[in-house]
């Protein structure tokens, strides 16, 4: 009897065996759309220049989705007896399926929202071509991402409304408890909890200290935020990368958590604060970025 973990193995092997550049190049390009680096470019730009609340939602969903996917993958890989280091699920595909479905719901007209379902399936085929994997694992990854997005879109909206009424300091406390709980569940996975906590911490402090509207300001001011923001992010990444090496294996999880928190905090609080100070000297008159 065929192991259910390897159902459809013939199809995946056939796709993975395609060696034509006409297939491989488009597939590799599509996989860029589910890489963390892609979201580290798109989400900050969205947060700084377009819509702060929607960018934060996608960032929180992506970090939580990847964490839940990692937890599910460890359980399912053990259940199916896969070798150590071999994943049953695709964490990138889980996060991509959830974020594409939400992004289409947030930003496009209703007649184009089917793309939120189509893109993850296209990415599934691209993963099969480039990386192989198992058909059940890839399908479950997409379904898990869609399920996470559905929870956010249906009951999650009421929960989000409840959270929006809380004081920012309460939000920070709840985010800290959840982040440390995530660390307790997966001791080695400290990056995702750090990104989650840093994003919520920065956005909550921004609500306390600054009224910053990304769509405010001239087009030139908004465009200048991008190199300024990514310049600071690159500098912090370089410093953090050196500290990870100096910290050694024993301190790596703690340093990585702090490193991830600082990167997210820069994107959600420090960078907007710098924008106001350097780019918007007339903020008191413009009314879109007044200090509190």
Query: In which band, very low, low, confident or very high, does the pLDDT at 225 lie, cut at 50, 70 and 90?
Result: very high
User: Cα separation of 260 and 116, whole Å?
Assistant: 28
Structure tokens at 56: 């934060």
User: Cα separation of 166 and 163, whole Å?
Assistant: 5
Which one of 44-53, 187-196, 283-292 scores highest in mean pLDDT? Answer: 44-53
150 shares a domain with 189: no
267 shares a domain with 248: yes
177 shares a domain with 121: no
Decide which of 111, 138, 158 is a domain's last residue: 158
115 shares a domain with 91: yes
Q: Give the C-alpha distances (Å, rounded to integers) separating 205 from 141, 199, 211.
A: 34, 10, 11
Helix or strand (DSSP H, E) at 147: helix 135-153
> In sequence order, what are the residues at sequence separation of 6 or more whose Cβ sits closer than 8 angstroms to the Cβ of residue 246?
none
Residue 95 has pLDDT above 90, yes or no: no
Q: Give the C-alpha distances (Å, rounded to integers) separating 142 from 72, 84, 101.
A: 13, 23, 11
271 shares a domain with 290: yes
Interval 187-207 mean pLDDT: 88
Query: Which neighbouring-strand residues pair with 210?
Result: 291
pLDDT for residue 267: 94
111 shares a domain with 238: no
> In sequence order, what are the residues at sequence separation of 6 or more whose Cβ sits closer than 8 angstroms to the Cβ of residue 157?
none
Which residue range is the domain that position 143 belongs to? Answer: 8-34+65-158
154 shares a domain with 86: yes
Question: Residue 291 gets which letter from DSSP?
Answer: B
130 shares a domain with 27: yes
pLDDT (tens digit per residue) in 108-151: 777 777 878 888 888 887 887 777 667 777 888 888 888 888 87
247 shares a domain with 226: yes
188 shares a domain with 84: no
Residue 16 has pLDDT above 70, yes or no: no
Query: In which band, very low, low, confident or very high, does the pLDDT at 7 lie, cut at 50, 70 and 90?
Result: very low
273 vs 247, more confident: 273
pLDDT (tens digit per residue) in 234-258: 999 999 888 888 877 778 888 889 9
pLDDT (tens digit per residue) in 140-195: 888 888 888 887 776 656 666 777 777 888 888 988 998 888 888 877 778 888 99
pLDDT for residue 283: 45
């Amino acid at each position: 009897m065929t192991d259910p973990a390897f159902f459809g193995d013939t199809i995946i092997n056939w796709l993975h065996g395609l060696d034509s550049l006409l297939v491989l190049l488009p597939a590799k390009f599509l996989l860029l759309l589910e890489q963390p680096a892609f979201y580290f470019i798109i989400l900050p730009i969205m947060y700084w220049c377009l819509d702060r609340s929607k960018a934060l939602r996608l960032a929180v969903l992506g970090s939580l989705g990847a964490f839940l996917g990692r937890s599910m993958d460890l359980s399912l890989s053990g259940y199916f007896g896969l070798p150590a280091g071999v994943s049953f699920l695709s964490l990138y595909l889980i996060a991509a399926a959830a974020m594409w479905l939400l992004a289409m719901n947030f930003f496009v007209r209703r007649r184009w929202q089917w793309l939120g379902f189509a893109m993850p399936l296209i990415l599934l085929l691209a993963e099969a071509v480039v990386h192989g994997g198992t058909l059940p694992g890839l399908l479950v990854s997409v379904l898990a991402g869609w399920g996470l997005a559905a929870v956010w879109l249906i009951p999650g909206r009421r929960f989000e409304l409840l959270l929006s009424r809380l004081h920012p300091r309460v939000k920070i406390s709840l985010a800290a408890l959840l982040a440390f709980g995530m660390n307790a569940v997966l001791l080695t996975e400290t990056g995702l909890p750090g990104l989650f906590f840093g994003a919520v911490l920065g956005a909550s402090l921004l609500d306390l200290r600054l009224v910053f509207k990304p769509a405010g300001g001239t087009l030139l001011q908004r465009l200048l935020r991008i190199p300024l923001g990514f310049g600071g992010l690159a500098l912090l990444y370089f410093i953090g990368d050196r500290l990870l090496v100096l910290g050694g294996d024993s301190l790596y999880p703690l340093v990585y958590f702090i490193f991830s928190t600082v990167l997210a905090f820069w994107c959600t609080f420090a960078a907007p604060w710098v924008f106001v100070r350097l780019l918007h000297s007339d903020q008191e008159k413009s009314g879109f970025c007044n200090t509190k």
